[in-house]
Structure formats: structure tokens, C-alpha cells
Amino acid sequence: MKNWIQKTLVIAVALLTFGVISPNHVIWENLLDDKANQKSISSHNAQPTYAVEWSKEEPSTFIEDAIIQAKEQSLLKFGSRIGPIITNEFDEVIFPKIQEAIEMALFNMDNKTLKSLAISEKPSGDHSEKIFHIFDTTTKSDLIRFHVRTENRPQDGYFFNFHYHISSDQFAKHYKLGDIYWSKNMPPKWLS
């Protein structure tokens, strides 16, 4: 019976604290322990000791957050019909290049400028190209635009052409990230 109560209590605390206090935590070592009941009063007056473990991780930067959001926006753009088919190739071939492009474009920016940047949160649907844009929130101007275009190549079929544009050349040039083959049949609309 005592074991059952202890297990229930451990599970309840783990759920209520979202796993912050785990079952192998110091609290559980003395809880409902037979030896704890037999200890003298003087041992209960002893000061408890706590171990604090500091994480050496630095807070995330905008570049790290942008890479995470880029992945989310890309998967959102693909939708449930295109996503499952091209996600593996996208993860292996295209996304590392997107990550590299973000890092290169934002690497030399100071912290103040990086703090004013944001990522657009709504990729365009139908047959539009936009996946996401990184823009300055103070001026509302885009710095880098990531797009995917559906191309019908005669005799070959449909391909998804991933590319980006940068503000330094007024978004005129396509910087190619890569292509993913779909099939000879027309792909569904984005976000579908």
C-alpha cells in the first residue's frame, strides 16, 4: 500500500511540475522512507543541502530563432499534401542551404539590428512563391526573401525551385538553393 502511494505521488508531482521535479530528484530519497521515520529529532533539524546546476547555454540569438522559424514556415508552406512527399529531400538538400543563407546574410549585423528583425509568419498559398521573408520591424523593409517556384520542364515534369533574394541588389537576382522533383503530374496548391 505504501509503495502504491509513493508511486502515485511521484507521478502526480512529475505531471503537475511538467517534469521539473523528476522521480530521481533528492526530494524523493527521503519521502516515505522507513529510515526517515526512525531518525532522531536532531537529524530532522539538520539543514538540508541543495545542489544547483547552472546551464552554460547562452540565450538563443535571432539567427538561431530564425532558423527554427524558417523550418516551421517551410513545412507550413508545403501543407499536408506536398509536405510528406518532399520533406526528407528538403531536410537533406535545401534546408542546410537556407540555414547557410540566413547565417551569411545576418552574420555581420550588430545586436541592435538583429533585435529589430522578424520573420513573416504567413507563407502564401495557391501557386505563389513566398515561403517567408526576414524583415526589419522598424522600417518594415525586407532584407532577405525565401521563395519556392513550381516549374514545368518539358519532358521532365514538375520541379520545385527553391531560391532567395536579397535587398542589396533590390531583390533582382535569384540565388538558387536547389530543386526538388515532384512528378510529371501537376502538384497541388501550396498550403493544401
Q: What is the mean pLDDT of residues 70-97?
A: 91
Q: What is the mean pLDDT of residues 20-39?
A: 52
At residue 18, the 3 state secondary structure works out as coil
Of the candidates 62, 139, 73, which has an alpha carbon nearest to the alpha carbon of residue 107? 62
Q: What is the mean pLDDT of residues 102-113?
A: 85
Q: What is the mean pLDDT of residues 41-50?
A: 52
pLDDT-above-70 percentage for the chain: 72
Band (pLDDT 50/70/90 cuts) for residue 50 is low
Residue 27: what pLDDT? 54
Q: What is the mean pLDDT of residues 36-57?
A: 52
pLDDT higher than threshold 70 for residue 60: no
Contacts 24+ apart (CB under 8 A), 6-12: 6/31, 6/32
**What are the tens digits of pLDDT across the range 108-166?**
888 888 888 999 888 887 878 899 999 999 998 999 999 999 999 888 999 999 999 99
Q: Distance between CA atoms of 101 and 146, rounded to whole angstroms?
A: 10
Mean pLDDT score of the chain:
79
pLDDT higher than threshold 50 for residue 42: no
What is the pTM assigned to this prediction?
0.66
